[in-house]
Structure 1
Amino acid sequence: MNPSVKALFEDYRRLFRDGIWDNNVVMAQMLALCPLLAVTGTATNGLGMGLATTFVMVASGLLVSMFRTIITPEVRIPVFILLIASLVTLVDLVMNAYLYEMHKALGLFIPLIVTNCAILGRAESFASRQPVHRAMVDGLAMGVGFTVILVVLGAVREIPGSGTLFADAHLLLGERFAWMELTLIPEYRGFLLMILPPGAFLALGFILAGKRVLDARLAARTAPAADPATSP
């Protein structure tokens, strides 16, 4: 493999590992908890919010990186917010026009993507200092990492809460994806706690604890074995 291509591949791999696991928006940075806890009553809602946020993160990274040399430091934050707000408005209008039922289910939390600290944070700390291709890949990685947590949390809540998985997926992805809508527990009355906000906090706590355990085990495996000659 060409050395430059290999170096680029390794760079992108590090960015994706950072966004999906090491520096995940939720599990590491503890950002965007408001939409995370509010819209994840089902995995489908989580997927819809995640895809919308990912688009905004990629597009904002692109625009901020493109204009980073002409945006003066004194006005950078208002300009970043204006760019992000414009993208969120575009997403809101498109979803309202073509995905009305999903738009209605997500409600106010689509416009509130503007206030997602993760998007503004990456624009300020990364995209404004990096070339376009790295800014876009970082936005994609962070968005995918956020989407994965949204879907996982939505599934963890939806299965015990209503006995289904990806309910109403056709509203988001179209009729051809109706096969994703699974009824795992027929004639199930549901466990209301998991659908309510306390269930979201409990599920998120278990997910965060699971990540800490996995990180500790991975660190123990990669740590160099102790030298018997130097051990007490």
Structure 2
Amino acid sequence: MKLRKFLKKRLWNNNSSLVQLLGLCPVLAMTTNAVNAIGLGITTTFVLTITNSIISILKCFIPKDIRIPIYMIIVSSTVTCIEMLLHAYQYNLYQSLGVFIPLIVTNCIIVGRADYIAYKNSFFIAFLDGISIGLGSTFAMFIIGSIREILGNGTFLFGLNKIFNILDHSFFFTFIDKNSTIILAILPPGGFLVLGFVIAFKNYLDLNKKKINCLKCFHSCKLKQ
């Protein structure tokens, strides 16, 4: 039960992109299609998990006064290694993500989790925190990217072969005719609009669930009386 609450808090209740609104630059820039969103999300998840784990293991050796510069060294080293691996084994995805791979170093989510969680908790908690926060951000980016791609290009999962090399470049779904698409959706203002609608829908679901729980509590109290 505690693990479920731990994951729910990070994946949904305190989602880094939809609630805390952290790291919105890559979220808005790389969500013009679902594949780029998945690629950046998975890359960020790997960086978060690895850096959290390393910092948690080495926390006893990291001086408190200079911990932030040490975090940056660990994060930048991890990002560089992952960037080199993508360049070697997933070159098409590497090209699509472009400059946003090295910019993961400046993502405030990673340094924030390193200082708030990894530096103060055990390896297991830091590891789970990195995975759950990363997957929460990936989920948010995937939803935004899917909506923008369908509305703006009429396709879904276009370019999936960048992630799975065994797939053909023609493997994607078409939902809307090219002449009926809304070009605004894949432009920067469209990113802000879609993000706003997704956040509003999440808030609606949360409020609706809260009302249902309150009604259940009210009826249970009434029955006890």
Instruction: Calculate the TM-score normalised by the size of structure 1.
Output: 0.90
Distance 1:187 1:161 in 2: 9
Which residue number corresponds to residue 218 of structure 2? Answer: 225
Q: Which amino acid is 2:218 matched to?
A: A
Structure 2 matches for 1:80-119, cutoff 5 A?
Answer: 80-119=71-110
Q: 2:42 aligns with which of 51, 59, 66?
A: 51
Distance 1:26 1:184 in 2: 27
Distance 2:29 2:178 in 1: 26
Which residue number corresponds to residue 207 of structure 1? Answer: 198
Distance 2:48 2:79 in 1: 10
Equivalent position SS for 2:60: coil
Is it true that 1:76 corresponds to 2:67 in the alignment?
yes
Structure 1: give runs of 5+ residues left out of the alignment: 1-9
> Mean alpha-carbon deviation: is it higher for 180-189 or for 41-50?
180-189
Query: Is the 8 Å Cα contact of residues 80 and 120 (structure 1) preserved in structure 2?
Result: yes
Moved over 6 A (4+): none
C-alpha displacement at 1:92, in angstroms? 1.1
Distance 1:180 1:20 in 2: 29
C-alpha displacement at 1:175, in angstroms? 2.3
Structure 2 matches for 1:58-69, cutoff 5 A?
Answer: 58-69=49-60
Q: 1:39 aligns with which of 17, 30, 34?
A: 30
Query: Alignment RMSD, CA only?
Result: 1.8
Is it true that 1:21 corresponds to 2:20 in the alignment?
no
Structure 2 matches for 1:84-163, cutoff 5 A?
Answer: 84-163=75-154
Distance 1:179 1:119 in 2: 35
C-alpha displacement at 1:216, in angstroms? 0.7
C-alpha displacement at 1:28, in angstroms? 1.4
Distance 1:179 1:12 in 2: 41
Query: Is the 8 Å Cα contact of residues 48 and 110 (structure 2) preserved in structure 1?
Result: yes
Matched residue count: 220
Which residue number corresponds to residue 2 of structure 2? Answer: 11
> Mean alpha-carbon deviation: is it higher for 51-60 or for 210-219?
210-219
C-alpha displacement at 1:186, in angstroms? 4.1
Which residue number corresponds to residue 6 of structure 1? Answer: none
Superimposed CA distance per residue, residues 68-124 of structure 1 (whole angstroms, 9 cap, x where no aligned partner): 111110111111111011111111111122222221111111100001111110000
Equivalent position SS for 1:221: helix
Q: Which amino acid is 1:225 matched to?
A: F
Query: Is the 8 Å Cα contact of residues 16 and 22 (structure 2) preserved in structure 1?
Result: yes
Instruction: Calculate the TM-score normalised by the size of structure 2.
Output: 0.92
